[in-house]
């Protein structure tokens, strides 16, 4: 997929969906303006993960919205996803590139300037700066970087930055002004009564119209 839009990433978490099918939450979020979806499943079997990924690829392909798979290169290959998002302990970028098609989007999480510089040197398409603020949705992270930490990373690399961690309509604009090219959110959309409205509001925040 050419020129993927990093403006608003939805990172999924079925536990926060209030019992709603994940595919319906994603459908509404995309209708509201989500530009990229990252399927993150830490607590399910490989078959369950595959099932969710297949449902999402069927939804998103016709809409031209990229689907990235968190951590699991095998799942991404199996369903024909648009790419993967890798953490610092996951498969190195070079190996993921060897396995995936040339057009794959490969994003990498960075919790420090050193992580970000290494991700850029290794050819990441975007860098997920994490966490900017404290967040209950992911507990195995470093202390929050804050806006100043984000600014330092922005000054150190030219690769697109997608910020994640405790981001919502109340602080999203500050994150963009600190140097992020886009926002990645979990609960701000997945837990919202209306994922469509939540996504639309975040798009306004990103554009400075909110």
At 155-181, the pLDDT tens digits run 999 999 999 999 999 999 999 999 999
pLDDT at residue 127 greater than cutoff 60: yes
pTM of the prediction?
A: 0.94
- Count CB-CB contacts under 10 A for residue 174: 14
Q: Mention the CATH class of domain 8-201.
A: alpha beta
65 versus 3: the higher-pLDDT residue is 65
pLDDT, tens digit, 9 for 90 and up, residues 16-62: 999 999 999 999 999 999 999 999 988 889 999 999 999 999 999 99
CA dist 117 → 59, 79, 124, 150 (Å): 35, 31, 10, 13
Question: Three-state SS for 117?
Answer: helix
Q: Give the pLDDT of residue 136.
A: 72
Distance CA 36, CA 146 (A): 24
Domain positions in the chain: 8-201
Token couple for 158: 């030219």
| Catalytic residue set | 40, 109, 138
């Amino acid at each position: 997929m050419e020129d993927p839009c990093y403006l608003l990433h939805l990172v999924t978490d079925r536990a926060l969906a209030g019992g709603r099918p994940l595919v319906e939450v994603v459908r509404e979020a995309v209708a509201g303006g989500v530009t990229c979806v990252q399927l993150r499943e830490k607590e399910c079997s490989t078959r369950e993960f595959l099932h969710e990924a297949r449902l999402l690829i069927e939804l998103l392909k016709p809409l031209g919205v990229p689907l990235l798979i968190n951590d699991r290169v095998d799942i991404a290959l199996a369903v024909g996803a648009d790419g993967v998002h890798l953490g610092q302990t996951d498969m190195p970028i070079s190996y993921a590139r060897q396995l995936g098609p040339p057009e794959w989007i490969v994003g990498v999480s960075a919790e420090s300037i050193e992580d970000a510089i290494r991700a850029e040197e290794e050819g990441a398409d975007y860098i997920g700066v994490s966490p900017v603020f404290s967040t209950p949705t992911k507990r195995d992270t470093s202390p929050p970087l804050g806006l100043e930490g984000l600014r330092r990373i922005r000054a150190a690399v030219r690769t697109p930055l997608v910020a994640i961690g405790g981001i919502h309509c109340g602080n999203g604009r500050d994150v963009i002004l600190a140097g992020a090219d886009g926002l990645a959110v979990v609960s701000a959309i997945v837990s919202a009564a209306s994922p469509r409205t939540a996504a639309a509001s975040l798009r306004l925040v990103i554009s400075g119209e909110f």
